[in-house]
Amino acid sequence: MKNNGFIHGVIPPLITPTDAQGNLLESNFRKLIDHVIDGGVHGVFALGGAGEFYALSPAQKRRVAEITIEQTAGRVPVFLGASAITTREAIEHAKMAESLGAQALSVLTPFYISPTENELYNHYVAVAKSTSLPIVLYTNPDRTGGVNISVNLCERLSEIDNIVAIKDSSGDMTLTSEFIRRTGPKGMKVLAGRDTLIYGTLAHGGAGCVATTANIAPKLVVEIYEKHKAGDIQGALDAQYRLNPLRMNFGLGTFPAAAKDALAIIGVPVGDPIEPVMHCSPENKEKLRTILKNMGLAN
């Protein structure tokens, strides 16, 4: 039996608060963690794409991991990213996460390079063998030059004891539903990685979501999950529709600028995007403010 009973519900990929020079803003980060936990989330995930893991130094990654575990203080499970271009570096991240006391790892497909399916298989098996922690596969072809985890590959990897779930950010509901159909009987959990498809993933039998919008509107994202779980299908769908405008306007800035600016607007400041990413334009910030006002999150 796979060790994944704690993998469910809403797991925000935490934004990493940084100043204009890219230095970590520790107190802001602790406040953000409290903000999402107070919003009812079921876990937190640090060192993901929304957390600009690719822009952090090794020392910063370790400090982000330490703060996440300290501030969470056992209230919800902690997932840490162990994503890298090379297998060697991913294993280093995995070992660090385990040594610090994380509950699970999330491992994105390698980016920049274009590995074959067998190379991806070997990559994930090597990372899995390096740790006793449960591993959540992560496929996001839009951010990795088209590198994707196929259903066949996911099914092969589901045979590995500590590969227990997959986060699907492909935006392809057919792929999501096939992950669920073909790996669910093997004990794999499937999590929505596209915030507009949380309801759809749950309807197909998914376990929850890893949603960037849950940094900003944790209670609303949790409402989608909790209402669906309770059988209030229309209520879950209504909550999904209320959330969609926020996620669909993340393109008002280079990711994750709109998420950082939205948090500032609602009074949970997380500093600046890491250069070369810049804040949204003043005009686009006003558009964000209007969306957040309509959601009841900003004055």
Specify the pairing of strand 9-10 against strand 208-209. parallel
Please say whether the beta carbons of 280 and 288 come within 8 A. yes
Catalytic residue flag (residue 285): no
Catalytic residue among 167, 189, 227, 260: 167
25 Cβ neighbours under 8 A, 6+ residues apart: 17, 18, 19, 270, 271
Distance CA 110, CA 108 (A): 6
Q: What is the dihedral of CA 46, 185, 142, 136, to 10 degrees?
A: 20
Please say whether the beta carbons of 65 and 82 come within 8 A. no
63 Cβ neighbours under 8 A, 6+ residues apart: 24, 26
The reply to whether 210 sits in an annotated binding site is: yes
Catalytic residue flag (residue 167): yes
Catalytic residue among 61, 121, 129, 138: 138
Please say whether the beta carbons of 80 and 49 come within 8 A. no
Distance CA 180, CA 207 (A): 9
143 Cβ neighbours under 8 A, 6+ residues apart: 49, 108, 111, 169
12 Cβ neighbours under 8 A, 6+ residues apart: 36, 41, 44, 45, 210, 211, 212, 214, 215, 218, 221
Residue ranges of the binding site: 210
Residue ranges of the binding site for pyruvate: 210
Residues taking part in catalysis: 138, 167
